[in-house]
Structure 1
Amino acid sequence: MVPIKLEYFRIIWLSLIIILSFSFVVRANSSDSERLSIAGSAFNNNVAVKLLEKINISSEMSSEDLSVTYVDVPEFDVEKLIDYVMSGKYDIGIVSIEELIKKFEEKNLVYLSLLAQPFTYANNGEMFRVQDSIYGDIVLSEIGKFGVIPLGFWNHPQSHLVTKKHIENVEDLKGLKIATPQKYSYSTIFALGASPVAMSFSEVYGALQTGVVDGIEQYSYKSYDVPDVVFYSGSIITNYRSETGIFIVSVNSWKRWTESKRSIVRSAIKDTEKVFRGEILQSEEKLESLVAAMGIRFENLHALDGTEKARKFSQERWVRRVGDVGFRAIELMNRAIDGELPSSIQVDEHEPRRGDASEAAVYFATDRSDSQMSDLSERFGVDRSSAPEVSCGEIVFDNDKIRKVGSEFAGNLWIDSIHGVSKDKSCVQLLSDISKLQSGKLVIFIHGYWNTFESSARRAVGVAEDLGITDRLVLWSWPSLGVRGGYFYDEESVEWSSVNFQEFLGLLLKRSEVDSVDLIAHSMGNRIILKSLLLNLPEATKIQNIVFVAPDVASDVFLSAINRYKSSGALRTLYASQNDRALLVSKYIHSAARAGIGGESIIIAGGLDSVDATLVEKVWGVNHNHALQIPEAVGDLRSLLSSLKSASQRGLMRGERDGLSFWLIQPRN
C-alpha cells in the first residue's frame, strides 16, 4: 500500500493563518489588542493554536494590534456558520458553495450554484480561469446581495474516485456503490448512475478493502492508502469533483474595521489564493505521475465516454430548477473555460506623462462616515454618514513626476491640516472661495464602484495630473465598500449619496464666486450625475462640460435622462468601450444593456458626443478606465476639457449609424 498524504484542506487553513499572522500583530494574551476571529469546519484547531502560539510578529509590520483566533466549528453546527458571521459572532467565515446555496437558495445564486454542479471542470486550470473571469465577478456580486461580503475563493484539489473495478466509460460506473463522507457529492454520484453510500472519512478505506462498497471518493488533502485491490484490477478516476468555497465577512464587521485592518485581510486572502493555486496545479501533475509510476490505471473523468452526455443531462435538470437565466450562466462559463474571457485582471501598460502637473490642486467632498482620525486612509470609512453630513477639505500630495499616464498615484498624500475639514455649508463656502482664487471654475470628479476614500483620492490626483487640470478639481467620494464583492451595497450607497450630491451641487451653483463647473463621472458614479441633471436646476447653465466615462447605467435609463435634460450650453460627452469587463459583469447581473458599452452597441443621441475607445482598448485588459487610463483616450479627454471643442473638432474618426454620428479614438501610429 502506498500512502498519498497531501492534506491540502488543512494546509489552506494553516497558510491563511500564516499569511494573516505575518500581517497582524498576534498577541494571544493581550487584553488591549483587538480580536479577529476566523471560523470554518473540518480543520485541525490544535495545530492552528500551536502555530499561533509561535507567532510573534513585530508591531511595526502593521498599525493594527490584533489577536487572531481560529474557531473550528463542529460538524453539527456548520449550517449555522453563515448566520454566525452575519451576526458578528465570528469575523471571517470559510464556507463552502453548498453551504451558501442552502442558506440563500439556488434560484437566488444561479451563477454560484452552477459551480457546484457535477462535471463542471475538466481540470483545476479551468476552475481558476472561471473564477478569475467576469464569471467570478458575477458570482461574488451575487453573494453580496445577502448582507455578507465575499472576499475571495478558496479551493481544494479535485477529488478522485478509487474503484475495485476497471473503468473504461461512464457505463462501467452504473450500479456501483460509492462511499463518500461528503453529502454534497451525492448528486455527482447519482449523475454517473452509481449509488452513494454515506460513510465517515475513517470508514471508507476499510469498506473498499472488505468489499462493502465498490468504490470510494478520495480527497488529496486526507491521508489514505491506495488499496491493494486497485493494483490488480481497479482504477483511479481523477478530476472527479471540485470543492470550492468563499471567504466571507459581514457588512457590519467590514464597516466597523479600520481601513488598515480591511487592507490586511484583503491582501492576506489574495495571497492565500495565489499560493494554493500553485500548489493545487502541482498536486494535479504529481498525482498523475505517482499513479502512473505505480502502474495503476487512471483516467480523467472528463475523458471517459459518456461523461459529456451526463454533464448535459445534469445541466438540463439544473436549468429547470433555476430558470432560463441558467442558459446564460452556462454560455458564459463555457466562454470562460475556453479562454474567451479575460482570465485575470491585467494591469494595463502606461506611458510617461507629458507636461508639468505641479499646478494641480485637488479637494474633496464626501458623505462617508467621519472617524475624525488624522490619517487620510482612515479618516473617511466605507459607511454612510449618520447625519448625513458632507465633509470637505484639501488633499495635499507630493508631485510624482515619474508616474505614468493612467497609473494610480502612489506617492504621499494627506489632508491639509492648516484649514482642516469643513462641514456642510462651510464646505460650499470653502469650495466657492478656492474657485474664485483661480478662475471661478471647478471640475467635479465622481468615482465608481469598488473604491475606498484613499483609492478614490489617489485616482483623483492622477486624473488632475493626467488631464492637466489647472483649475480646482473636487472629488466627490461616496461610501463605496471598496471591495470586489460589494457591488449591491455600492448600488444602494450611490442611490443614497445622490440626494446629498444634488443638494451640494445646487448650493455650489448658486454661489456667485463659481462661474462654471465641469462634471466628470466614472462607472457607477454616473448615476449620481444623471439624477442631478434631471432636477433641471436654474443655475445648471453654469455647467460647461458633462463627461460620462463608462457609465454603469441601464442604456434606456441613460437615454431617457439625456433626452429629458433641458439645460442648454453644456457639452455632453460619452466615453464607451466594447470589451469593458466591469460593464459586462453589470450587464449579466441586471440582464440589461449598459450605457458604457461601445462598439456596435454604443449609444448615439442628439446633443450627445459618443466617443468609442474600442480601437485603443487592451486585448485582455479590464478596459473600464479607458478615458482615465489609456493614453490616446486620456489625450482626447484632456483636449475636450481644455478647449471646449466638440468631438467633430478634435480630429477624431467619424462613424455613422442610423444617420447619427459617433466618434472613434484611433491608436497612435
Structure 2
Amino acid sequence: MRFLIVMLLSVCAGCGGPQNLVGVETAIPVSSVPELTRHRIYIATPRALSDDPTEFFSGDRASDMSFAAVDVTIPPDHQKGNIERPSSLPADPRKHFVITAPQLFSDGTQFRQEVSRSVRALPRNDHEVLLFVHGYNTNLTSAVLQMAQFVEDSGYKGVPILFTWASSGQTVKYVYDINSALIARDHLVSMFSVMESSNIEGYDLVAHSMGTFLVMEAGRQISMTTGLNPTGKAQNVVLAAPDIDIDLFLTQIRRFPEQYRRFVVLVSQDDKALRASQRVAGGVSRLGQIPAEDLAELGVNAIDLSAVKNTGSLAHSKFKDSPEIAQLIGTALSENSSFESDVSFPVGRKIGTGIDGLLQVVRVGG
C-alpha cells in the first residue's frame, strides 16, 4: 500500500501547484503590452485567507465562504494547450501568464453584484457564466491559471467563476484533499443560487478530476432536497477525467432523475493518474476509465479521448491541454444546450487525430 500511494503521488505531481503568482512583480508593466489578452476571473472559495499576498488564499479550510476576483493576462505568443509560467521571478507579461489586480469582496452580496455587472456588460447572447471546479493537488495559483487557460483556448465568451475548494496543493495530502472536497459540498450547493441571478441567461459547469467527485456529491444533495435545475438555467455539465470510484458513481447517479443525467463525461484509457488512483483504491475502476458505451447504458453522455495524444499532463488534463478538445468543448458550450436533453457534444464517440493531424470523430464500436 505504501508503494501504491507513493506511485499515485508521483504520478499526480504533474497536476500540482506552481509557485504562488498572485500580484507578483513583473519585469515590465502589464499595461505596456497592448497585444496581450485579459480575463477577469471571479473566485468563490472555502479556503482560508493567506498572510502571504502572493498566495492570496491558502490550502487551509475556512468555515465560511470568501469571494474575490483577479485578472489574468495571456501573453501575445501563447501556445494553445500550454500555460506559460515563469521559471523564476519577475514574470514577464510578454512571455508568461500573469495574475494581477487581486480584489477581495466584503461579502456574497457584493460578489453577486460584481458578477451581475460583468454579465450585463457583455452582448446579450453572452449573458452566461462558466463555473469551474478544479481537481486534487491544486493551489489557488494553479486553479486560476487552469481556468484562464481553458477560457482562452476554448473561446468561452461568458463570465468565468472559479470555485476553488481547500486543496492543499501538496502531493502528500491526498486524503486531506478528499476530505476538503467533502467539506466543500454545502458551499458548492450555495453557489447555485448565484447562478440563478436574473441577469444570467444560463450557466455551464466544467469540473476536473477530484472536482467531479465534489460536483456529483453536491448534485446528489440538491437532487434529494430542492430538486435539480428549477429555473432551467443549467446548460452543459462536463466531468473531465473524473476520479470517482465507479461503484460510488452508481450510487450517486441513482439519485438523479433520468432526465437530469445528460451531463458529459470525458474518459480516456491512457490516463495515468486515474490508473494509479485505481490501484490505490483496491483495483476499483475510476469513472474516467469506463468505456463510453458502458456509460451510455446509464443515460450518461460520454466522449472517449483515448486516441487524443497529450503527454504533457500524463493524459489527465486533455480537456484543456489538447487545443482541439478545448475548442470542441468551447464550441459546444456556446450552443446553449441543456443537460436535461440531448447535448451538442459528439457524445458516444471516440475522438482522435487522423494521419493529417486533424480532429476526427468516429462512433463507438466503429
The two structures have a TM-score, normalised by structure 1, of 0.43
2:241 paired residue among 542, 547, 550: 550
| Other-structure match for 1:509 | 195
Counterpart residue identity of residue 287, structure 2: A
Q: Which moved more, 1:520-529 or 1:535-544?
A: 535-544
Question: C-alpha distance in 2, partners of 1:635/1:413?
Answer: 22
Question: C-alpha distance in 2, partners of 1:555/1:458?
Answer: 29
User: Deviation per CA, 1:364-384, whole angstroms, max 9, x where unpaired?
Assistant: 1111111265x3x32111111
Aligned-pair CA distance for 1:495? 0.7
User: Deviation per CA, 1:6-49, whole angstroms, max 9, x where unpaired?
Assistant: xxxxxxxxxxxxxxxxxxxxxxxxxxxxxxxxxxxxxxxxxxxx
| Other-structure match for 1:414 | 99
| 8 A contact 1:577–1:617 mirrored in 2 | no
Counterpart residue identity of residue 370, structure 1: L
Counterpart residue identity of residue 115, structure 2: L
| Other-structure match for 2:90 | none
Aligned-pair CA distance for 1:405? 1.9
Secondary structure of the residue aligned to 2:353 is coil
| 8 A contact 1:549–1:575 mirrored in 2 | yes
Alignment of 1:207-222 (within 5 A): none
User: Deviation per CA, 1:269-316, whole angstroms, max 9, x where unpaired?
Assistant: xxxxxxxxxxxxxxxxxxxxxxxxxxxxxxxxxxxxxxxxxxxxxxxx
Counterpart residue identity of residue 365, structure 1: A
Aligned-pair CA distance for 1:421? 3.1
| Other-structure match for 2:8 | 138
| 8 A contact 1:445–1:473 mirrored in 2 | yes
| 8 A contact 1:617–1:623 mirrored in 2 | yes
Counterpart residue identity of residue 638, structure 1: G
> CA 1:404–1:620 in structure 2 vs 1: closer, same or farther (change >3 Å)?
closer
Alignment partner of 1:430 is 2:117: no
> CA 1:641–1:447 in structure 2 vs 1: closer, same or farther (change >3 Å)?
same
Alignment partner of 1:467 is 2:154: yes
Aligned-pair CA distance for 1:448? 0.3
Question: C-alpha distance in 2, partners of 1:530/1:474?
Answer: 18
Aligned-pair CA distance for 1:640? 1.5
| 8 A contact 2:72–2:98 mirrored in 1 | yes
> CA 1:499–1:357 in structure 2 vs 1: closer, same or farther (change >3 Å)?
farther
Aligned-pair CA distance for 1:555? 1.2
Secondary structure of the residue aligned to 1:666 is strand
Aligned-pair CA distance for 1:359? 6.7
| Other-structure match for 1:389 | 64
- RMSD across aligned positions (CA): 3.1
Count of aligned pairs:
313
User: Deviation per CA, 1:406-425, whole angstroms, max 9, x where unpaired?
Assistant: 212533533535x5434334
Alignment of 1:178-577 (within 5 A): 358=37, 360-371=39-50, 373=52, 375=53, 377-385=54-62, 388-410=63-85, 411-416=96-101, 420-438=104-122, 439-505=126-192, 507-534=193-220, 535-536=222-223, 537-538=226-227, 540=229, 541-566=232-257, 568=259, 571-577=262-268
Counterpart residue identity of residue 157, structure 2: T
> CA 1:625–1:440 in structure 2 vs 1: closer, same or farther (change >3 Å)?
same
Question: C-alpha distance in 2, partners of 1:649/1:501?
Answer: 26
Q: Percent identity between the aligned chains?
A: 22
> CA 1:620–1:463 in structure 2 vs 1: closer, same or farther (change >3 Å)?
closer
| 8 A contact 1:422–1:430 mirrored in 2 | no
Counterpart residue identity of residue 120, structure 2: K
Secondary structure of the residue aligned to 1:397 is strand
Secondary structure of the residue aligned to 1:665 is strand
> CA 1:409–1:571 in structure 2 vs 1: closer, same or farther (change >3 Å)?
farther
Tell me, which stretches of 5 or more residues in structure 2 are unaligned? 14-18, 21-34, 86-95, 357-366
Question: C-alpha distance in 2, partners of 1:420/1:638?
Answer: 29
Alignment partner of 1:638 is 2:330: yes
> CA 1:561–1:496 in structure 2 vs 1: closer, same or farther (change >3 Å)?
same
> CA 1:627–1:502 in structure 2 vs 1: closer, same or farther (change >3 Å)?
same
Secondary structure of the residue aligned to 1:546 is strand
Question: C-alpha distance in 2, partners of 1:600/1:516?
Answer: 27
Question: C-alpha distance in 1, partners of 2:313/2:109?
Answer: 42
Aligned-pair CA distance for 1:647? 8.3
Counterpart residue identity of residue 176, structure 2: Y
Question: C-alpha distance in 2, partners of 1:429/1:368?
Answer: 21
2:288 paired residue among 596, 601, 616: 596
Secondary structure of the residue aligned to 1:632 is helix
Aligned-pair CA distance for 1:454? 0.6
User: Deviation per CA, 1:70-121, whole angstroms, max 9, x where unpaired?
Assistant: xxxxxxxxxxxxxxxxxxxxxxxxxxxxxxxxxxxxxxxx343xxxxxxxxx
Counterpart residue identity of residue 7, structure 2: D
Question: C-alpha distance in 2, partners of 1:384/1:583?
Answer: 26
User: Deviation per CA, 1:121-175, whole angstroms, max 9, x where unpaired?
Assistant: xxxxxxxxxxxxx77423779xxxxxxxxx9xxxxxxxxxxxxxxxxxxxxxxxx
Alignment of 1:8-157 (within 5 A): 110-112=1-3, 136-138=6-8
Question: C-alpha distance in 1, partners of 2:121/2:227?
Answer: 25
